[in-house]
Amino acid sequence: MTATRRLFDENSHLFDFTAKILSVTPIDEDTLSVVLDATAFFPEGGGQAPDTGVLCGFSVSDVQEHDGVIYHTVKADASFPAAGCTVEGQLDREVRLRKMQNHSGEHIISGIVHRIYGYTNVGFHLGNGDVTLDFDGVLTREQLNEIEDEANRIVAASLPVKAYYPSPEVLATLAYRAKLELTENVRMVEIGQGEDMMDRCACCAPHVDNTGEIGLIKLLDFIHYKGGVRIHMLCGLDALEDYRQRYTDVALLAARLSVKQQDLVAGFDRLQAEIEAQKQIIFDLRQTLLSMTLASLPETDGSLCLFEETGDANAMRRLLNEAAPKCKLLCGVFHGDDQSGYRYFIGRGDPSIDLKQYAKDINAALNAKGGGSSEMLQGRAGTTKAQIQAFFDTFYI
């Protein structure tokens, strides 16, 4: 099959087009694979998701290219026109515009990083509202801020963006960025011209006509990745949407903290300090309560069974260690409820008791999973509070 004419190469701002159907192949009962003589739908490639839109009113869910032929996956029924008919196609205009803003923005960033630091863009992903790029060298936040400033100066300068196929002779004379070693049919994308040439890169994707169309380039968070960095970025309408969401969140948090937006971090730090102080007060109160509980425990020749409210392991252990000497047999400390079970520590009042000997009986009586040493057992009991209490009341040696 002859290669599909790539209308997006000729005019990246062509969103509506007409073309002749060359073939229609059913994929399943409501999905067709459609080949046209020409298309404005950019297929998936080079890290960029395919364009979406409609063909003859039916939605295009995927676009792929094989050997120069572009295949449109169309959700359609039997009323879809046959080969030989002319159809109208419409791209999701704003989705495409956002992709071009992000992709051209990525070229600007990659060009600056290459020019200043000599790093290469080794990975690029452009989904919907999600852009990542990877460089083979480490950059700091300060450097990224400088790169971002320079990138937005290039946006503000409204430099022309040109895409073209140079002849092999011209290509041989050009310096450009490229993922692969290319020799023929190379599409070049240039940002700026003459003295203001900011970047030249081999790329098959549609781009803005002018850097001013990008609107804004924002580098978001970054991580160290495979010896370099992976940067999240957003441009244009995606960046605006992201800013709007963050502004809304900041405004909401500031209102909830009753501080001005510019004082949000200080307000949050104050709240956290208050929480820490409250935690200390609660800790001190718990210790007091624990001491009072221990002081009020009667001495017994039998066993002791205690239920601890907080489930804090340190508090449970302290209770066990200080309560055990007040009894002669077992001392158990439990935390939980009848629905989800009880976590427990079990010790002994008499140091001559080897708890390991009783572990099996205890596990059976409390429907428990657990184990431990001669001195202490721990685990989870799957029985009720009443049954636990009854076991300790009736335990004897």
Minimum distance of Zn ion from residue 21's CB (angstroms): 30
CA angle 113, 118, 119 (to 5 degrees): 65
CA 193 to chain centre: 38
Among 301, 313, 365, residue whose Cα is nearest residue 343: 313
The DSSP 8-state label assigned to residue 45 in this structure reads B
Which of 124/334 has CB closer to Zn ion?
Answer: 124
Q: Which residue is nearest to Zn ion (CB)?
A: 203
* Site residues, Zn ion (CB under 5 A): 203
Asked if residues 110 and 177 have their Cβ atoms less than 8 Å apart, the reply is yes
Minimum distance of Zn ion from residue 29's CB (angstroms): 37
Which of 191/203 has CB closer to Zn ion?
Answer: 203
Minimum distance of Zn ion from residue 175's CB (angstroms): 17
Minimum distance of Zn ion from residue 213's CB (angstroms): 16
Query: How far, CA to CA in Å, does 57 sit from each of 13, 90, 241, 268?
Result: 20, 8, 28, 52
Which of 203/319 has CB closer to Zn ion?
Answer: 203
Minimum distance of Zn ion from residue 205's CB (angstroms): 5
Query: How far, CA to CA in Å, does 135 sit from each of 43, 179, 204?
Result: 25, 12, 20
Minimum distance of Zn ion from residue 116's CB (angstroms): 19
Residue 51 φ/ψ region, left for φ over 0, alpha for ψ in the -120 to 50 degree band, beta for the rest: beta
Minimum distance of Zn ion from residue 207's CB (angstroms): 8
Which of 34/133 has CB closer to Zn ion?
Answer: 133
State how far the Cα of 70 lies from the Cα of 63, in Å rounded to an integer: 7
Given the structure tokens 């041989």, which residue do they identify?
172
State how far the Cα of 115 lies from the Cα of 109, in Å rounded to an integer: 10
Minimum distance of Zn ion from residue 37's CB (angstroms): 26
Which of 121/378 has CB closer to Zn ion?
Answer: 121
Among 137, 127, 96, residue whose Cα is nearest residue 232: 127
Query: How far, CA to CA in Å, does 84 sit from each of 3, 4, 23, 25, 35?
Result: 17, 15, 8, 13, 11
DSSP 167-224: -HHHHHH---B-SS---SS--EEEES-GGG--EEEE--S---SBGGGG--EEEEEEEE
Minimum distance of Zn ion from residue 237's CB (angstroms): 19
Which of 144/203 has CB closer to Zn ion?
Answer: 203
Which of 203/219 has CB closer to Zn ion?
Answer: 203
Residues 6+ apart with CB under 8 A from 47: 123, 124, 125, 126
DSSP 84-135: T-EEEEEE-HHHHHHHHHHHHHHHHHHHHHHHHH---EEEEEE-SS-EEEEE
Which of 203/331 has CB closer to Zn ion?
Answer: 203
Which of 162/328 has CB closer to Zn ion?
Answer: 162
